[in-house]
Amino acid sequence: MGTNSGTSVRVLLLLFYCFWFEFCVYAIDTFTSTHFIKDSETIVSNGSLFKLGFFSPSNSTKRYVGIWYGKISVSSVVWVANRDKPLNDASGIVKISEDGNLQILNGEKEVIWSSNVSNAVSNTTAQLLDSGNLVLKDDSSGRIIWESFQHPSHALLANMKLSTNINTGEKLVLTSWKEASDPSIGSFSFGVDPSNIAQTFIWNGSHPYYCSGPWNGQIFIGVANMNSYVSNGFRMDHDEEGTVSVSFTTSDDFFSFSLYYAVTPEGTMEEIYRQKEDWEVTWESKQTECDVYGKCGVFGICNPKNSPICSCLRGYEPKSVEEWNRGNWTSGCVRKTPLQCERTNGSSEVGKIDGFFRVTTVKVPDFVEWVPALKNQCRDMCLKNCSCIAYSYNNGIGCMSWSRDLIDMQKFSSSGADLYIRVADTELDEKGNVKVIVSVIVIIGTITIICIYFSCRCWMTKQRARVRRERIMEVSLFERVNVHPNFSDANMLGNNVNQVKLEEQLLINFEKLVTATNNFHEANKLGQGGFGSVYRGKLPGGQEIAVKRLSRASAQGLEEFVNEVMVISNVQHRNLVRLLGCCTEGDEKMLVYEYLPNKSLDAFLFDPVKRDSLTWRKCFSIIEGIARGLLYLHRESRLRIIHRDLKASNILLDEDMNPKISDFGMARIFQAKQDKANTVRISGTYGYMSPEYAMEGIFSEKSDVFSFGVLLLEIISGIKSAGFCHDEHSLSLLGYAWKLWNGDSMEAFIDGSMSEECYQEEILRCIHVGLLCVQELAKDRPSISIVVSMLCSEIAHLPSPKPPAYSERQITIDTESSRRQNLCSVNQVTVTNVQAR
Ligand SMILES: *[C@@H]1O[C@H](CO)[C@@H](O)[C@H](O)[C@H]1NC(C)=O
Ligand SMILES: *[C@@H]1O[C@H](CO)[C@@H](O)[C@H](O)[C@H]1NC(C)=O
Ligand SMILES: *[C@@H]1O[C@H](CO)[C@@H](O)[C@H](O)[C@H]1NC(C)=O
Ligand SMILES: *[C@@H]1O[C@H](CO)[C@@H](O)[C@H](O)[C@H]1NC(C)=O
Ligand SMILES: *[C@@H]1O[C@H](CO)[C@@H](O)[C@H](O)[C@H]1NC(C)=O
Ligand SMILES: *[C@@H]1O[C@H](CO)[C@@H](O)[C@H](O)[C@H]1NC(C)=O
Ligand SMILES: *[C@@H]1O[C@H](CO)[C@@H](O)[C@H](O)[C@H]1NC(C)=O
Ligand SMILES: *[C@@H]1O[C@H](CO)[C@@H](O)[C@H](O)[C@H]1NC(C)=O
């Protein structure tokens, strides 16, 4: 200890006081090579949320080193160090060894556990953070060389990531205890399986024991009623290196230290929530026997409400009836009639084409594959491919198909997906004949009644005849889109816009909207956009809505309308505005959104009064929210959507100032492997368009990143990019930022309302990220997932930015030269520029 003995004595004294008085204002959360922890001592994280020390599980006398919740009298261990090597008495210590590793020594001074960092540095510090993470830092560089979050035990805490690398197969998993009284490594583990569509699994050894079903961007669709805990913020992140990780975050700090997930020794995942002074299991993965993976074998479906719980799918029969009747379902079911594909394989016989039957509200089987197809193409895609034996569609994921034996299906009473299973034509007929006749009668009856009803209405009011056009809206949309001469973007699924089938349930009656908005009264007008006006309204149920009414004259608006409905009804994220419905009647085209009371971001940014209410913390959370929304569009939703018109006026703010990206009129859906596309129609907003898009019409994720960078710089500076005339020596906002960045006078760039000293560093970091996003060449710009990591400081060292676009020369996108002189007065409306090629 040498020269440091004075300090350590003081530290020990402090520790002693802590124990003596139980309540200690300055808890010690850190220790270095000069001190150690004895069995009777603990270290406490700064906010005393977590403690680290020695403990014995109930019914055991063995001693382990672990981390547990510190504020609650009923302790709950979330991490154990020496799981397989317990101490037999209270003589153990925790210390930092000479090579900088964290070690546990027993009474004989033998190392029984070590952090095992091979190239550790000599001077390190261990700190227990309020997140429950124990980190070992290099004193000289501050670099984290080891952390307990990277070596998880049985519990998943907020912000902790369990990841699997697709390329290397490297996996970070939770592992269960052997028994409640024995923390040594048990047979169950929990982690992510990233193959195709990411799912989480509990494995028993190497065999799957529980499967959550695919992640749809918000929930795992194989978990019954998962909607209720979307609020706990589960996330699935994909990064550039092929790592897929699952984690959960909570916006509420209280939640983050009173909720965690753990795998039990019995192989169940539990959600554990703190209720007052006790812990309560609020959810568990194994609710019934049906939650055991593959309970009913292949092609068997489990329904906990039936007895027996297993049955074969329609068109299938037990492989071994005798075993099945004994309640041994493991060998599953087999197809009764071969499919047409199988029958005609190799022979010239052409049978009747196969069909599908639907099973509603099910947990979809394992081995799902993702197919780049729209909702209405999903069925055909499956029918055409002989190896496809089932398909399903989910708005967050898109089209899913299965080509391997279907296993691990469960019937839910609500939630879940609709699964379409391929069967031979005869299987459909067999039981269907009577049903078909009945259905035909019912359909004809219904149609007759509907006809009479409509005739009556027509007769009563001629004007109301228009209502019928709602029914044939699809048809009229086709015609009008098809004749539109400029719509010729090739190679894109976006091109299939004319095939879109608007879902019936999205349609809202015109008269309802007239009432809701008081006949589109001026007083309810929220604003005027590029394609029409937006009105505020209230539905009979009291729900507030915003109605975007497209101007009748605009033929262009129609395309955007169809596009927007298609894109937005397929995505759901808390940072994207929600579409409640749409309405077409005659010339009227309307989109109905949730109403967001704080209007759009530009109303705050560029208004000198409102601007003052934006603190840096708020700005940062807005920046982060936009980045997350964009990340969802680009990566996490299965569709891969490029927004193409990101700008301050398209960011709406809810009552808590959470940002929501809106206006998907320009958005394009990309195929999974496509990374850029070309368009002859350039639509976007001056000041936000990346150079390759503005000049050559090439757009990609990176053009959205560019717009995001501009937006970020606008938020920080409070200066509009379009019509920049702030600094006479710079031609654009980007040029201005670049000039100040190189002149080391970035403070001048930051808007006065948030130049709080303590956040200076964070603000500069954001500007740095912004400059990286607006670099001239698309390949230099980071992807949005990297941007999110940079913003959250997960990436410590940012590369130096290269000069941004438009910093040195004038914007040359205009075909009309007159716009040049008018640069300072360009409105922030979306422009569409058709280039002759
Ligand atoms: C502990 O937390 C307080 C407030 O949260 C902070 O001011 C202080 O710097 C922290 N102390 C350490 C050692 O991190
Ligand atoms: C501890 O032992 C008692 C008595 O054998 C038993 O009832 C209890 O369940 C055990 N607790 C644990 C956590 O194993
Ligand atoms: C550390 O390394 C040693 C030898 O390579 C190994 O026996 C031990 O299990 C490792 N400990 C941990 C905690 O990984
Ligand atoms: C480690 O810290 C001690 C005491 O603070 C110091 O004397 C020594 O030089 C440091 N060693 C290194 C490699 O930094
Ligand atoms: C887990 O696997 C082991 C070994 O294969 C087996 O003995 C045990 O019964 C399995 N546990 C469960 C709950 O299925
Ligand atoms: C169930 O059937 C399988 C396959 O025939 C067999 O291997 C297994 O032992 C049977 N299980 C039971 C509990 O009888
Ligand atoms: C078609 O026949 C070939 C060989 O005759 C066989 O390998 C293949 O699996 C068959 N395909 C199907 C779908 O049955
Ligand atoms: C049919 O489906 C299989 C499995 O999903 C896939 O590998 C194959 O490429 C598909 N074939 C065609 C022609 O799409």
DSSP secondary structure of 5-71: HHHHHHHHHHHHHHHHHS--SS---EEETT-EEETT-EEE-TTSSEEEEEE--TT---BEEEEEESS
Q: Which of 150, 174, 198 is the last residue of a domain?
A: 150
Cα–Cα dist 646/709, whole Å: 10
Distance (Å, whole) CA 595 – CA 105: 61
Residue 476 domain flag: no
Whether 331 lines ligand 6, by a CB cut-off of 6 Å, is: yes
Give the whole-number percent of the chain exceeding pLDDT 70. 76
List the CATH number of the domain containing 382. Answer: 3.50.4.10
Question: What CATH number did the domain enclosing 747 receive?
Answer: 1.10.510.10
Report whether pLDDT(264) > 90.
yes
Ligand 6 atom at minimum distance from 328 CA = 1
Could you check whether the bond before residue 804 is cis, i.e. omega within 30 degrees of 0? no
Q: How many residues does the chain have?
A: 837
Say if CB 371 and CB 379 are below 8 A apart: no
Indicate which residue's Cα is closest to atom 13 of ligand 7: 342
Query: Of all atoms in ligand 2, which is nearest to the CA of residue 59?
Result: 1
- The predicted model scores a pTM of 0.61
Q: Give, using CA atoms, the residue closest to atom 3 of ligand 2.
A: 59
Tokens 């399986």 -> residue: 193
Question: Is 548 annotated in some ligand binding site?
Answer: yes
Identify whether the C-beta of residue 550 lies closer than 8 Å to the C-beta of residue 590: yes
CA of 43 to the centre of ligand 1 (A): 15
201 membership: H or E segment, kind and range = strand 199-204
Backbone torsions φ then ψ of 792, nearest 5 degrees: -85, 10
659 and 802, same domain (yes or no):
yes
How high is the pLDDT of residue 391?
95
**523, 668: one domain:** yes
Give the mean model confidence (pLDDT) for residues 826-835. Answer: 43
Q: In this predicted model, which residue has the larger pLDDT, 45 or 552?
A: 45
- Tell me phi and psi for residue 426, to 5 degrees: -65, -30
Q: Does residue 728 sit within a domain?
A: yes
Residues 69 and 142 in one domain: yes
Q: Which residue has the higher pLDDT, 640 or 420?
A: 420
In this structure, the answer to whether residues 331 and 306 fall within a common structural domain is yes
Q: State the pLDDT confidence band at 230, using cuts at 50, 70 and 90.
A: very low
Q: Which of 166-175, 347-356, 681-690 has the highest mean pLDDT?
A: 166-175
Of 287, 318, 346, the domain-final residue: 287
- The mean pLDDT of the chain is 79
| Cβ of 113 below 6 Å from ligand 3 | yes
Task: Judge whether residue 820 has pLDDT over 80.
Answer: no
In a domain, 836, yes or no: no
Q: Do 254 and 145 have their domain in common?
A: no
Residue 810: pLDDT band with limits 50, 70, 90: very low
Q: How far apart are CA 199 and CA 719, in angstroms?
A: 44
Buried/exposed 673-690: b ≥16 CB within 10 Å, e otherwise: eeeebebebbbbbbbbbb
CB 389 within 8 A of CB 422: yes
Give whichever of 76-85, 517-526, 721-730 has the largest mean pLDDT. 76-85
3-class DSSP assignment, residue 664? coil
Q: Please tell me the predicted confidence (pLDDT) of residue 118.
A: 84
Range of the domain at 361: 291-423
Query: Looking at the 3D structure of the chain, how many domains does it have?
Result: 5
The answer on 370 and 497 residing in a single domain is no
In a domain, 462, yes or no: yes
The pLDDT value recorded for residue 660 is 92
How confident is residue 388, by pLDDT bands cut at 50, 70 and 90?
very high
Taking residues 772-795, report their average pLDDT: 86
Rounded to whole angstroms, the Cα distance separating 64 from 53 reads 8
Is 346 a pocket residue for ligand 7 (Cβ < 6 Å)?
yes
Which helix (H) or strand (E) segment holds residue 240: the answer is: none
Question: Both 259 and 374 in a single domain?
Answer: no
Q: Are residues 379 and 439 in the same domain?
A: no
* Residues 405, 377 contacting (CB under 8 angstroms): no
Of ligand 5's listed atoms, the one at least distance from the Cα of 187 is 1
Of all helices (H) and strands (E), which one includes residue 831?
A: strand 831-834
Distance 548 CA to ligand 3 centre (A): 63
Residue 312 lies in a domain: yes
User: Residues near 275 by Cβ (< 8 Å), separated by ≥ 6?
Assistant: none
- Residue 6 maps to a domain: no
User: How large a percentage of the chain has pLDDT more than 90?
Assistant: 32
Residues designated catalytic: 645
Higher pLDDT, 814 or 720: 720
- CA dist 571 and 569 (Å) reads 6
pLDDT at position 200 is: 95
Mutate to test the pocket of ligand 4, among 35, 122, 125 (most ligand atoms within 8 A of CB): 122
Q: What CATH number is associated with residue 60?
A: 2.90.10.10
Looking at per-residue confidence, does 166 or 256 come out higher?
Answer: 166
56 in ligand 2 pocket by Cβ < 6 Å? no
The pLDDT confidence band at residue 677, using thresholds 50, 70 and 90, is: low
Predicted pLDDT of residue 112: 94
Instruction: Tell me: pLDDT of 835 over 80.
Output: no
Digit-coded pLDDT (tens) for 86-111:
999 999 999 999 888 999 999 999 99
Average pLDDT over residues 350-358: 83
Inside any domain, residue 4: no
Write down the number of H helices and E strands in the chain.
Answer: 19, 46
3-state per-residue secondary structure call for 321-374: HHHHHCCCCCCCEEECCCCHHHHHCCCCCCCCCCEEEEEEEEECCCCEEEECCC
Q: How far is the CA of 177 from the centre of ligand 5 (A)?
A: 14
Q: Which residue has the higher pLDDT, 69 or 817?
A: 69
Q: What is the pLDDT of residues 231-262, one digit of tens each?
A: 457 888 888 788 899 998 765 555 456 789 99
- Radius of gyration over every alpha carbon of the chain, rounded to an integer in angstroms: 31
Mean pLDDT computed over 17-38? 64
Alpha-carbon span 54 to 645, nearest angstrom: 56
Instruction: Provide the pLDDT confidence category of residue 341 given band limits of 50, 70 and 90.
Output: confident
Q: What is the pLDDT of residue 691?
A: 81
Question: Is the domain of 674 the same as that of 602?
Answer: yes
Interval 757-775 mean pLDDT: 88
Assess contact for 206 and 200: CB atoms under 8 A. no
Residue where a domain stops, chosen among 227, 260, 287 = 287
Which amino acid, one-letter code, is at 554?
Answer: S
Question: Does residue 188 or residue 666 have the better pLDDT?
Answer: 188
Q: Indicate whether 773 and 647 sit together in one domain.
A: yes
Ligand 4 centroid – CA 124 distance (Å): 10
Q: 328 and 283, same structural domain?
A: no
Pocket test for ligand 6, best of 323, 324, 325, 329 (most atoms within 8 A of CB): 323
- Which atom of ligand 6 is the closest one to the Cα of 320? 5
Q: Is residue 714 part of a domain?
A: yes
Distance linking the first and last C-alpha atoms of the chain: 78
The mean-pLDDT minimum among 42-51, 579-588, 721-730 falls in 721-730
Residue of 341, 369, 385, 392 to test ligand 8 pocket, by largest number of atoms within 8 Å of CB? 385
Least confident of 136-150, 384-398, 431-445, 596-610: 431-445
Question: In this structure, are 463 and 581 located in the same domain?
Answer: no
